[in-house]
Homo-oligomer: A and B are copies of this chain.
Amino acid sequence: MTLHSDRIFNPDPTIRKIARELYTEVKDLPLISPHGHVNPQIFAENKPFPDPAELFIIPDHYVFRMLYSQGVAMESLGVPTIDGSDVELDHRKIWQCFAENFYLFAGTPTGIWLTHEFTEVFGINEKLNGKNATVIYDILQDRLQSSEFLPKTLYKHFNIEVLITTDGASDALNHHIKIQQSDWGGRVIPCFRPDAVVNITDDSWKKEIENLGKAAKIEINSYTKFIKAIEDRRAYFKSMGAVSTDQGIISPYTHQLTVREADTIFQRALQGKATDEDAALFTANMLMEMARMSIEDGLVMQIHPGSFRNHNKTIFNKFGIDKGCDIPLQTEYTGNLYELLNKYGNDTRLTLVVFTLDESTYARELAPLAGHYPAMKLGPAWWFHDSIEGMTRFKERVIETAGIYNTVGFNDDTRAFVSIPARHDLSRRIDTNFLAGLVARHIIDMDDAQKMAHALAYDLAKITYKL
């Protein structure tokens, strides 16, 4: 098994030839990873990844959710339980189960990424199955112990220019401090994500507010002090190199509350009496406030709306968050972003990067909004849509109205560090193939296509995120 050099490209000879040419020009550009969930600890500690199951299966909800959907118990895949109850501890057994079910990923981006990782990163040249599972486990295990496969070495080997993590508002950023204090040349920087202190009806909210207060050295007993603490933490993140914020929200509804209104809700929340409507209004107001702060401090504002988190309560209660049961919701932008865009959308100091899990909004709402408001840009195809067909649909629906220059290039958005080259390679192939289709139909010329390919692969991310 080797990766075909023409993979992903349209088999039409005209398109494929152009795609190859465009791809060749961008494939070796450094990787900019402006949004993702890699744990900075791996660079702070630079220890070997423990074993193949620990690297590829146990922490990866893309992988275990597919096996779970086919009736494989989460416990048998070693996914740790909240209460510490038993799960499979034999990682070879976990790997065997995964290998026997690897065929499930045929035609999925996870299958493509894993195949890329196995072949290109780890030099495996057989397709994984139940029979060769042990042999491949041994090879991988062997590789993982070698210094070539330490996180910092892989970072360089992967040709990463900058990698942005996602960090809670109260995070002391100790791993980032350690990374920055080391003499390693890698650029790993934090992103400010205040969801835990914004979601006033979450069980953990009061604890999170306490942590925020400690981090900001403010006793947070009012909305005003809460805002002050947020501003302080943003300043701290910025001092640590941050260039951006991010918010995961159910709905992108935006609405400015008066300080009095916001404080009334805040006080109710402190008493544990906030309602769902309070929470929705508080979030809507915080989007307005985060935009205001971004104009003031220059941090790029990102929003990721529309995920119904932890839809499966049985799984959530036993295993916790990020277990493959976050399900997208229909999302509305034209009305919901109205207030924010009317107040701040004409301000060129703001960069608001909007993501969606609802593809029906690409051509209908998002491209027209981004194709008009100077502050608004479109994040790439996200999560379930970060796939061959998904990225292609994004391009087909967005570019005709917004052009490529109102998009922000590629985000890998991954927790799986070793998948980063696979994801960027896939994106670059899809983009150059897409552009090749335009050239082959004489919609753009080769000169345009080359510039656009470079922009999509590198420039747009760099410029948007001020890197």
A327 touches B441 (CB 8 A): no
* A65 contact from B328, B371, B405, Cβ within 8 A: B371
Interface flag for A121 (CB, 8 Å) = no
- Which residue on B lies nearest to A357, using beta carbons? B364
With a CB–CB cut-off of 8 A, which chain B residues contact A4?
A: 442
Nearest Cβ on chain B to A118's Cβ, whole angstroms: 14
**Stretch in A7-15, A51-59, A140-148, A274-282 touching the partner:** A7-15
User: Could you tell me the distance between the alpha carbons of A53 and B391 in the complex, rounded to whole angstroms?
Assistant: 36
B324 touches A329 (CB 8 A): no
Task: Find residues 275-293 in chain A having any chain B CB closer than 8 Å to their own CB.
Answer: none
**Stretch in A37-45, A190-198, A308-316 touching the partner:** A308-316
Listed A/B pairs (10) with beta-carbon separation below 8 Å: A8-B442, A12-B12, A103-B451, A106-B452, A111-B444, A311-B342, A312-B342, A363-B390, A388-B441, A388-B443
The interface size bin for chain A is 35 or more
Interface centre among A11, A12, A325 (most CB of B within 10 A): A11
Task: Find residues 380-402 in chain A having any chain B CB closer than 8 Å to their own CB.
Answer: 384-385, 387-390, 396-397, 399-402
Interface flag for A68 (CB, 8 Å) = yes
Interface flag for A71 (CB, 8 Å) = yes
Given known pairs A334-B311, A390-B400, A442-B4, the reply for A372 and B325 (CB within 8 Å) is yes
A69 touches B374 (CB 8 A): yes
Interface flag for A359 (CB, 8 Å) = yes
B364 touches A359 (CB 8 A): yes
Nearest Cβ on chain B to A415's Cβ, whole angstroms: 17
Interface flag for A409 (CB, 8 Å) = no
Q: How many copies does the complex hold?
A: 3
Task: Find residues 348-394 in chain A having any chain B CB closer than 8 Å to their own CB.
Answer: 348, 357-360, 363-365, 367-374, 376, 384-385, 387-390
With a CB–CB cut-off of 8 A, which chain B residues contact A3?
A: 442
Given known pairs A363-B359, A368-B384, A442-B7, the reply for A405 and B70 (CB within 8 Å) is yes
- Which residue on B lies nearest to A392, using beta carbons? B396
Nearest Cβ on chain B to A51's Cβ, whole angstroms: 26
A312 touches B400 (CB 8 A): no
User: Could you tell me the distance between the alpha carbons of A15 and B312 in the complex, rounded to whole angstroms?
Assistant: 40
A327 touches B403 (CB 8 A): no
| Sample of 7 more A-B contacts, CB < 8 Å, known A11-B15, A69-B370, A313-B342 | A4-B442, A66-B371, A311-B342, A324-B372, A327-B334, A330-B332, A330-B334
Interface flag for A445 (CB, 8 Å) = yes
* A10 contact from B65, B348, B441, Cβ within 8 A: B441
User: Could you tell me the distance between the alpha carbons of A334 and B12 in the complex, rounded to whole angstroms?
Assistant: 39
A346 touches B448 (CB 8 A): no
With a CB–CB cut-off of 8 A, which chain B residues contact A390?
A: 363, 400
- Which residue on B lies nearest to A112, using beta carbons? B443
Interface flag for A345 (CB, 8 Å) = yes
Interface flag for A408 (CB, 8 Å) = no
